[in-house]
Amino acid sequence: MKMEKAEKGLTLRAYVLGIIMVVFWTIVIHLIGGFTPYFPETTANSVIFGIFTMFIFSLIAPKFKLTQQEYTAIYSMILVSTVFAATWTFTIYGQVIQAIGNPEYNKYGIAYMPSIFGPRDIDLIQGAFSGGASVPWDAWLIPMFYWILLSIAICFSGLFLSCILRRQYIDVETLPFPIATPIVTLAKERNFFKMRNLRYILIGMLIGFIWPQNLAFLLNIIYPPLGIQVPGEVDLAPFLWSTLPMAVLVINWGNIAVLAFAYLVPNDILLTAVLLHIVFLWIIPPIEVFMGVLNAPADYAASGMWLYRFADAAFKGPVHFSDITRYGAMLGLGIIPLIMQWKHVVRTLRAIVHPEPDIESNEPLPYRWAWVGFIAMSVLTLFLLSLGGMPFWLAVVFLILFNISSLGLTRLRGESGGWVGNAEEMVSPIHATLYQIGFEANIQNETVKTACWRTMMLSGTYTWWGTLIALPPPITSMEAFRIASITKTKARDLFVSMSIAIIIALLLGFPFALWGIYHYGVSAKWLYSRIDAQFVGDMGFWQNLRAAFYVGGSPAAWTYPPDWIQTGIGIFLVALFT
């Protein structure tokens, strides 16, 4: 197949403007997401950030006349930096909130936490809760270096993985990546900010700003006694629960501003996204209920736990679906395409010894170097996880599941534009593995207890919630490669631009977030009365630790006890609908 020649995207001005945008958005996202009551849904809003940035360019610097290839390079830098700009902020939150708010964590968690994770002296952490304190840089220097290095290893292993599979996902299967489509639509137009599309985008963003739910939120910040409550959801459960038990029946409109981009997405891509959500949210859950895999409550009270965010195409569900079916489904989305793509995978491996210049000239990297980079970053990740106290064999399992799940998320985003809620679907196997190896029976063994605590801290508080919540590569990098394939931008330029953006965002974001949390304090974002409800489960998976160590570790006491048979059924259902 004859390949069209791609044009250069990483020019000097694109390089400079891209770096400026990475620095700007890294700081802004940390401030907004870390130290104000508003947490940006970066899964969707990265598109808005990109459009807004290009809009500003068109207003203040029309003489730039950036090409669509330069816009693609700049947008790729914005994409991979904005979506995980809050990495370090939430890593710190996990430790600060648990240490200040949970006496049990002080007694056990701090005791088992290695010093490489962060300061174990409560006095050094207290200032991060109340704010108005100086950062104890000496105490945080080594932990900060550790988390930066671990984040770089995880992000670059994903980036190299996307280089290996780019041709299969983008050129052969042509996954549409709906979130990227508006960028492509706009970037392909010469002087696109003067076209009629812009007015619809600006109108949509204005509607999003004055949308009653958002307006009430702003008024409550200005004058809290108002206490205005504006429903942001439509609950269909009373009408459909008996017919579609355990289906996602609460629709949340989320950031309505994103609807301004919907008309830019071709109908076939919109239809693909809608159909995928129907399968995951409306078809698979009832099937599992009818099979006896899931137990649906008689009434629809639990439907409040099911949430579909229309704008950013992210959805969440109750424990059973999110951590059994959804985890199985995520594995299925990662594994089944790999099996179907085995010829391409083998071809990339053969290219290590026998390169194919004609094909590899269009790739971000020669397959040989992509594999070398992926293996090197994976080894570094394993080393750092082991250094953090995770048993080596468990770290290997962890990394394999991480990569498969990341590919599943990449495919989900490629076909529907969204991702499946939070990161529990990838944390679950670690928790289940710990249970299956019988740590309950050996809980009095100090070595086992230490390994369990540190593994939980790595898989819960830090690694997953520090990087996975932010959609690192290959999820975002594959989306950028999709844009490049349409705008005829050199994939190699995007590899360079994204590498630069990742490193800058992490090197700047970590110390900036550390300064921010000591300057503003956790209390600037979260009232203490909300901390337990908001973070005890999300940050550090404290219920799991408490249930395992204080309730006895039985499956009934666990919040996330995925059954492997049920996980297998989730994989089977994905294969069936695939």
Residues 6 or more apart in contact with residue 37 via CB below 8 angstroms = 221, 525
> Tens digits of per-residue pLDDT, 39-55?
544 444 555 666 666 66
User: What is the predicted pLDDT for the residue at 345?
Assistant: 86
Task: Assess if residue 151 is contained within a domain.
Answer: yes
User: What is the predicted pLDDT for the residue at 317?
Assistant: 34
Token pair belonging to 507: 């090197």
Question: What's the number of domains the chain is made of?
Answer: 1
Count Cα neighbours of 194 within 13 Å in the Cβ-side half-sphere: 4
Highest mean pLDDT among 38-52, 187-201, 303-317, 361-375: 361-375
Tell me the pLDDT band of 139, cut-offs 50, 70 and 90.
very high
CA 562 to chain centre: 21
Mean pLDDT of 207-233: 62
SS3 307: strand
* Whether residue 6 has pLDDT greater than 80: no
Q: DSSP state, 460?
A: I
Residues 6 or more apart in contact with residue 105 via CB below 8 angstroms = 98, 99, 540, 542
Strands 314-316 and 233-235, by their bridges, are unpaired
Mean pLDDT of 402-408: 83
* Whether residue 412 has pLDDT greater than 60: yes
Task: Assess if residue 444 is contained within a domain.
Answer: yes
Strands 250-252 and 307-309, by their bridges, are parallel
Average the pLDDT over each of 367-376, 434-443, 472-481 and give the range with the smallest value. Answer: 434-443
* Whether residue 306 has pLDDT greater than 50: no
User: What is the predicted pLDDT for the residue at 383?
Assistant: 96
SS3 234: strand
Distance CA 370, CA 374 (A): 6
Question: CB–CB of 93/539 below 8 Å?
Answer: yes
Helical segments of 167-283, H only: 181-187, 197-210, 212-222, 237-240, 267-278
As beta bridge partners, residue 307 has 316
Tell me the pLDDT band of 157, cut-offs 50, 70 and 90.
very high
User: What is the predicted pLDDT for the residue at 553?
Assistant: 36
Residues 6 or more apart in contact with residue 126 via CB below 8 angstroms = 100, 133
User: What is the predicted pLDDT for the residue at 30?
Assistant: 76
Task: Assess if residue 5 is contained within a domain.
Answer: no
Percent of the chain residues topping a pLDDT of 70: 52
CA 536 to chain centre: 19
Task: Assess if residue 481 is contained within a domain.
Answer: yes
* Overall pTM > 0.85: no
Task: Assess if residue 6 is contained within a domain.
Answer: no
What does the angle CA 430 – CA 436 – CA 437 come to, to the nearest 5 degrees?
95
Question: CB–CB of 239/277 below 8 Å?
Answer: no
Average the pLDDT over each of 214-218, 248-252, 311-315 and give the range with the smallest value. Answer: 311-315
Distance CA 176, CA 172 (A): 12
DSSP string, 408-442: HHHHHHHHHS---SSSHHHHHHHHHHHHHTTTTTT
C-alpha distance from residue 537 to each of 99, 205, 354 (Å): 14, 33, 50
* Whether residue 266 has pLDDT greater than 70: no
Average the pLDDT over each of 336-350, 515-529, 540-554 and give the range with the smallest value. Answer: 540-554
Give the residue from 476, 318, 330 showing the smallest Cα distance to 412: 330
Token pair belonging to 315: 């959805």
Residues 6 or more apart in contact with residue 28 via CB below 8 angstroms = none
Token pair 């898989």 is at which residue? 459
User: What is the predicted pLDDT for the residue at 241?
Assistant: 77
Highest mean pLDDT among 75-89, 373-387, 428-442: 373-387
Percent of the chain residues topping a pLDDT of 90: 12
Question: CB–CB of 336/409 below 8 Å?
Answer: no
Tell me the pLDDT band of 295, cut-offs 50, 70 and 90.
low
Token pair belonging to 66: 């950036």
Distance CA 14, CA 61 (A): 13
Question: CB–CB of 457/117 below 8 Å?
Answer: yes
Mean pLDDT of 360-382: 94
Task: Assess if residue 1 is contained within a domain.
Answer: no
Residues 6 or more apart in contact with residue 203 via CB below 8 angstroms = 260
Q: Which amino acid is at 429?
A: P
**Domain assignment of residue 278, given as a range:** 12-577
Question: CB–CB of 166/390 below 8 Å?
Answer: no
Task: Write down the mean pLDDT value for the chain.
Answer: 70
* Whether residue 555 has pLDDT greater than 70: no
Question: CB–CB of 258/311 below 8 Å?
Answer: yes
Give the residue from 157, 82, 176 showing the smallest Cα distance to 479: 176
Task: Assess if residue 460 is contained within a domain.
Answer: yes
Q: Which amino acid is at 462?
A: Y
Highest mean pLDDT among 72-76, 370-374, 438-442, 508-512: 370-374
Mean pLDDT of 392-412: 83
Cis peptide, bond prior to residue 474, ω within 30 of zero: yes
Q: DSSP state, 322?
A: I
Q: Which amino acid is at 328?
A: G
User: What is the predicted pLDDT for the residue at 492?
Assistant: 92
Average the pLDDT over each of 52-56, 289-293, 507-511 and give the range with the smallest value. Answer: 52-56
> Burial letters for 305-342: b for 16+ Cβ neighbours within 10 Å, e otherwise?
ebbbbbbbbbbbbbbbbbbbbbbbbbbbbbbbbbeebe
Residue 265 or residue 439, greater confidence:
265
Mean pLDDT of 158-176: 91
Tell me the pLDDT band of 499, cut-offs 50, 70 and 90.
very high
User: What is the predicted pLDDT for the residue at 123?
Assistant: 83
User: What is the predicted pLDDT for the residue at 530?
Assistant: 43
Task: Assess if residue 20 is contained within a domain.
Answer: yes
Tell me the pLDDT band of 321, cut-offs 50, 70 and 90.
very low
Question: CB–CB of 112/454 below 8 Å?
Answer: yes
* Whether residue 110 has pLDDT greater than 70: yes
Give the residue from 71, 63, 128 showing the smallest Cα distance to 98: 128
